[in-house]
A and B are shown apart, each in its own frame.
Chain A
Amino acid sequence: MSNILILFRREFASFFATPVAYVFILIFLMLSGVFSFYVGNLYERGQADLLPFFNFHPWLYLFLVPAMAMRTWSEERKSGTIELLMTLPVTTFEAMMGKFLAAWFVLGLSLLLTFPLWLTVNYLGNPDNGIILAAYIGSWLMAGAFLAVGICMSALSKSQVVAFILAVVVCFLFVLSGSNIVLEAFKGWLPPILLDTLASFSFLTHFEAMAKGVLALDDVGYFLIAIGIWLYGGFLAIEQKKAE
């Protein structure tokens, strides 16, 4: 059995041994329901799709995912288990992947558990289920990017609170850089090319098309690369200062 799989199973089980996974899933389901129906007017729009549901995902993830990611490495440092883990015949890369995948699967599970919404729109009308599936995949990819940022911040700090705050701030910047408020503010004095670059770093910009069901290669690639880069950052942080 590969080490990543063994570590994945341990981490995944640990999410359910502590209330973390249950609380996360519960809050995620409640908030996504509230946002879709009360703020997004899922019924009143009179359209058989899940756009109002997916549109709120970046904002939900912004706080929920860092809360989930903050313990990944901080807790290992705090309790000293990092010393145990790193002296087992396990590489930092394997540990990183095990942790990331376990949390990502919990996020995937939370997404799957929103299926009553999908049932609802299918009961009420005839939505394009291909679009909905694509949007689910897109949302999961974006959740992975949020998670990678959170894990990187958790690798930097022994304190879960610091890891949480750092992750929220960084994620907020990544979400906000594509929002109209920021783009409008820079519009007057930034050359369009820089403005586009700024917007292209945003999770929002790349998720926009996905939420509508378009899985373009550059959007998928963007999130995969973002995951890769942030996890690599976390990897370096762990390799550089294991003991502190």
Chain B
Amino acid sequence: MISVKNLSKKFGGFTAVDNLSFEVKPGDIVGFLGPNGAGKSTTMKMLTGFLEPSGGEIRIADMAMTDASKKIQRRIGYLPEGAPAYGDMTPIQFLNFIADIRGLKGERKTQRIREVIQLIELQDVLDRPIENLSKGFKRRVGLAQAILHDPEILILDEPTDGLDPNQKHQVRELIQNLSKDKIVIISTHILEEVTAVCNRAMIIAAGKMLFDASPDALQRKSRYYKAVTLHFGQLTDISGLAELKGVADMEVDRDSGRVTLFPEEGVDLLEPVSAYIKDRALQVDTLYSEQGRLDDVFRQMTAEVKG
């Protein structure tokens, strides 16, 4: 259980995090979204006890960060931004070192290290110095280090940055497969990642919380949510579509020729549109209902802050 109240962080005159308050319960997989420099990493650094807040309070598992940072840090697995690791060590040395520091001993230590190596697929690089590994492998070593002691709270700063699509998929699966009573907080620029992995999305810009709800709710904020897009096989008079009941607006993309119909609130357009097409026997080669475009919502929200 993480509870953050009025958290602020100032660097000189610059406010990186501005009066942030939120709570995270076990089972929450939170995605921190925000433009670069929005304060995501700074917030994570404060949650892990690396930076001291300029104001406000962080309580984790009913302990205040200011009183019990070491106790709290035992419960947290953290992948810092850029996945730093000791370059002169090999992954197996590094994991052994982390296991020792995390207090893993004997059979449990060997078993956890073996499990994590399997899970993250580090077998091939175990004996190569970390500084010689590719960016993707470095990131995976960082991930392995974070989950090694099977922490209740996992905080990952851009866990999929620098990974190829297969590896990204793998990491997302890994996060989803963590047991359901853990807290996971990830930060990302990739919007699809939030819908794919998280059950809660927080948008932060200029240090302020702009949105905190489920990824679905985020999609629902999109103008495109439940909009119907279609494309005709031949030149067609489309003026009638805009007159349909429940259509609030119509947009035609000049390049692709796609027509998008925006519904009035609470209206399902798919049915009336397909009925219209059927009635007039129009040739349609594409017809689908949109999920909502996240990047659209994201741009809109974060642009407002910059004003």
What residues of chain A have their CB less than 8 Å away from a CB belonging to chain B? 1, 3, 6-7, 10, 13-14, 17-18, 79-81, 83-84, 86-91, 242-243
Verify if B245 is at the interface (C-beta below 8 Å from A). no
Cβ–Cβ contact B45 & A83, under 8 A: yes
Q: Mark B76-90, 1 if CB is under 8 A from A, else 0.
A: 101011101111110
Are B98 and A88 closer than 8 Å at their CB atoms?
yes
Q: Is B86 touching A80 in the complex (CB atoms < 8 A)? A: no
Q: How far is the CB of B164 from chain A (nearest CB, A)?
A: 23
CB <8 Å contact, B82 and A80: yes
Q: Are A14 and B86 in contact (CB under 8 A)?
A: yes
Contact indicator per residue, chain B 59-97, by CB within 8 Å of chain A (1) or not (0): 000000000001101101010111011111100010001
A89-B101 CB under 8 A given contacts A14-B89, A80-B80: yes
Q: Does B49 contact A (CB under 8 A)?
A: yes
Asked whether any CB of chain A lies closer than 8 Å to the CB of B102, the reply is yes
Q: Which residues of chain B are near A81, meaning CB under 8 Å?
A: 84-86
Q: Footprint of A on B, CB under 8 Å?
A: 45, 48-51, 70-71, 73-74, 76, 78, 80-82, 84-89, 93, 97-98, 100-103, 129, 145
Chain A residues within an 8 Å CB radius of B98 = 88
Is there an interface contact between B88 and A87, defined as CB atoms closer than 8 Å? no
Asked whether A91 and B70 contact (CB < 8 A) given A79-B84, A243-B51, the answer is yes
Which residues of A lie under 8 Å from residue B85 when comparing CB positions?
81, 84
The residue in chain A whose Cβ has the minimal distance to the Cβ of B71 is A89
Query: Taking CB as reference atom, which chain B residue is nearest A15?
Result: B88
* Residue on A nearest B99 in the bound complex, by CB: A6
Decide if B97 touches A89 in the complex (CB within 8 Å).
no
**Most chain-B CB neighbours within 10 Å: which of A7, A81, A83, A243?**
A83
**A–B complex contacts, Cβ < 8 Å, 26 sampled:** A6-B100, A10-B89, A14-B89, A17-B129, A79-B84, A80-B82, A81-B85, A83-B45, A83-B80, A83-B81, A83-B84, A84-B80, A84-B84, A84-B85, A86-B49, A87-B49, A87-B73, A87-B76, A88-B98, A89-B71, A89-B74, A89-B101, A89-B102, A89-B103, A90-B70, A243-B45
* Chain A min CB distance to B58 (Å): 13
Question: A241 CA to B304 CA in the complex, in Å?
Answer: 33
Given A6-B97, A88-B101, answer yes or no on A79-B50 (Cβ-Cβ < 8 Å). Answer: no
How far, in angstroms, from A178 to B102 measured CA to CA in the complex?
A: 47
Chain A, residue nearest B87 (CB) = A79
Q: Do the beta carbons of B89 and A17 come within 8 Å of each other?
A: yes
